[in-house]
Amino acid sequence: MCHLTRCNEMTEPTPKYRWRHTWEDEPDDFTGFDGAVVVGRIFKDTTTPNAKDKWRWAGGHAPWVQKMVMPHNGCCETARLAAKAAEDHYEAMKKAHGLD
């Protein structure tokens, strides 16, 4: 079971999109999908001194993107919060492109 499904649903947001392991041999690295479109990626940072053990998120790159909404990456305390940040960025990108 991945980190995205282990969190307490009462205190952590439930992912809106489908998240799966980016690579089978990396247990703390996930990519989110809206159908075939990449919503974003999250992974646990194990090396950056000021972000060690935090979850990094990065926005995806949908084929319809013509302008970027900022910020397009960041850090969160949990996998679920990072997934929500990536999903929120994706939703903002859709809105900026008239796709909401």
Q: Decide: helix, strand or coil at residue 91.
A: helix
* Mean pLDDT across 76-86: 97
Residue 87 CB partners (closer than 8 Å, separation 6+) = 15, 16, 17, 32, 39, 40
Q: pTM here?
A: 0.86
Query: pLDDT by residue (tens digit) across 19-76?
Result: 999 999 999 999 999 999 999 999 999 999 989 999 999 998 889 999 889 999 999 9
Question: Residue 6: is its pLDDT beyond 50?
Answer: no
